[in-house]
């Protein structure tokens, strides 16, 4: 597609349920990032995929969070047993894999509300 696509755009879930958030990066982009943005706040890094390398999971806040990237393209972020503090906008971005100053392109985000 022309840009980074995220789905769903909005998700309301009950506390304790599992949710899956999807990211379709720009074709050919080997680097993919997930961030979380709480209301009016900055970007909190969650996880980063680079090609076939092991992902950098250092930002995942708990073991309830996991992510995978299948075939080097689509990525899914899964949150198990959701809590109210998980409510935020989850942003995905992709970049060309070459090191250096290439631009990251962001999706519109998934707004997750846990009630």
Partner 1 sequence: GNSVTQMEGPVTLSEEAFLTINCTYTATGYPSLFWYVQYPGEGLQLLLKATKADDKGSNKGFEATYRKETTSFHLEKGSVQVSDSAVYFCALTPNNAGNMLTFGGGTRLMVKP
**Positions in the binding site for partner 1 (CB under 8 A):** 31, 33, 35, 40-43, 45, 48, 50, 56, 91, 93, 95, 97, 99-101, 103-104, 106-109
CA distance 55 to 14: 29
Our CB check for partner 1 shows the closer of 1 and 101 to be 101
Our CB check for partner 1 shows the closer of 48 and 65 to be 48
CA distance 115 to 63: 21
Q: How far is the CB of 12 from partner 1 (least distance, A)?
A: 19
Our CB check for partner 1 shows the closer of 74 and 97 to be 97
Helix (H, G, I), strand (E, B) or coil at 70: helix
H or E segment to which residue 19 belongs: strand 19-24
Q: How far is the CB of 49 from partner 1 (least distance, A)?
A: 10
Q: How far is the CB of 8 from partner 1 (least distance, A)?
A: 15
Q: How far is the CB of 101 from partner 1 (least distance, A)?
A: 3
Tell which residue, 71, 90, 76, 66, has the closest CA to residue 28.
71
CB 55 within 8 A of CB 48: yes
Our CB check for partner 1 shows the closer of 69 and 95 to be 95
Tokens standing for residue 86:
């998980």
């Amino acid at each position: 597609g022309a840009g980074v696509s995220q789905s769903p755009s909005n998700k309301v879930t009950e506390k304790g349920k599992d949710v899956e958030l999807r990211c379709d990066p720009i074709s050919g982009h080997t680097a993919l990032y997930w961030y979380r943005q709480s209301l009016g706040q900055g970007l909190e890094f969650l996880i980063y995929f680079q090609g076939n390398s092991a992902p950098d999971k250092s930002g995942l806040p708990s073991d309830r969070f996991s992510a995978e990237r299948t075939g080097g393209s689509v990525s899914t972020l899964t949150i198990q047993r959701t809590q109210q503090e998980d409510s935020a906008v989850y942003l995905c971005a992709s970049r060309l894999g070459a090191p250096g100053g290439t631009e990251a392109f962001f999706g519109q985000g998934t707004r997750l509300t846990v009630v």
